[in-house]
Structure 1
């Protein structure tokens, strides 16, 4: 994957735009500006304010540092700063889609995490001699979680499942390495009664 155009395509397929965050920010800004505009129009028409008229709001804002307890002003400032940092973080960092890329030489191969999870679960079921429904695999950006629920009296070696999962993931040639975690859930007495 050497071509810059190919890298752009892969990035577009594995990262998501921050459309939802931008949409929320724009809607909140539009609502705030509409309210301010409505209060200004009501003030110009000599009508009573809905909540707080422009003159009263300006006076409250100017007198805020001295009229309110310092702790309250600082807490409000910190909350506003955190909200601002969250929006800044969302604006700067890219979102990630649930996909991985596979090393395929000069070709771009993007695979959905669900496909990787399904293939790995099928392979592990065949390796361990279990039913496919007894194995659940979740694939994230940096980790793979394997949960094995063997039936009563069926021994399962956690280390063997871990090794099989890691070996199978190596054959997929994912460009970003993932950490594998295996859990063996033993059936409870209640499961036996069902």
Structure 2
């Protein structure tokens, strides 16, 4: 692998994956607030005997009344939910709706919306229908094409499927086409 290809790969990876900056800042801020509260409480505990006596009395009253168990249970449940949320944020792929191709001379980054427009245009031209009657959604592995035919005019389903397949092959991005034709047409 050449240095140029390594740079392409790194840049394309950065452009196709969303950053985790927001979640990292949120976690760091929460930990900072908890740390400051713990330090403040510890210093206050050491310096003020009245606070120490009040805190000890409140803790013993909570444990005697049984309210401490519900408080601990609620705190534990909230902690588990926050932990699961942070775990999902950390492990989810965080992919953007973009696709990449590289050659020895260049790297190409294409938004899925551009691919959808190209497929929709090709289907509209091949089917002889208005571009407004074709809707395309590009997923990870599947390109879904929804066609609303013109009322009273037959639609060449095989031609539309061929247009999708040919367009994707010409562009060079592999995906499985899925064609959905609306049961009712529009009035032209």
Length-normalised TM-score, structure 1? 0.69
Show the 5 A alignment for 1:170-181.
170-174=169-173, 177-181=174-178
> Where does residue 13 of structure 2 map in the other structure?
11
Q: Of the two structures, which has the highest relative contact order with CA contacts closer than 8 Å and spacing of 6 or more?
A: 1
Equivalent pair of 1:40/1:54 in contact (CA under 8 Å): no
Change (3 A) 1:45 1:148: farther
Matched pairs, number: 180
1:184 to 177, 181, 187: 181
Give the aligned CA root-mean-square deviation in angstroms: 4.0
Contact 1:165-1:180 within 8 A present in 2 as well:
yes
* Corresponding residue number in structure 1 for 2:25: 23
Residue 129 of structure 2 aligns to a residue in which SS? coil
**Contact (CA 8 Å) 2:119, 2:163: kept in 1 or not?**
no
Instruction: Note the C-alpha offset of 1:169.
Output: 0.6
Q: 2:126·2:159 contact (CA, 8 Å) conserved in 1? A: no
Q: Which has the larger radius of gyration?
A: 2
In the TM superposition, what is the alpha-carbon distance from 1:135 to its structure 2 partner? 0.5
Q: Report the more deviating stretch, 18-27 or 32-41.
A: 32-41
More moved, 159-168 vs 121-130: 159-168
| Residue in 1 that maps onto 2:160 | 161
Give unpaired runs (5+ residues) of structure 2: none
The 1-side partners of 2:59 and 2:168 are apart by 61
Residues 72-111 of structure 1: pairs in structure 2 closer than 5 A: 73=73, 76-77=76-77, 80-81=79-80, 83-102=82-101, 104-111=103-110
- 3-state SS of paired residue (1:95): coil
TM-score between both structures, scaled by the size of structure 2: 0.70
Q: How does 1:50-129 map to 2 (within 5 A)?
A: 56=58, 68=69, 73=73, 76-77=76-77, 80-81=79-80, 83-102=82-101, 104-129=103-128
Contact preservation (8 Å) 1:102, 1:110? yes
For 1:141 and 1:54, the matched residues in 2 are separated by: 57
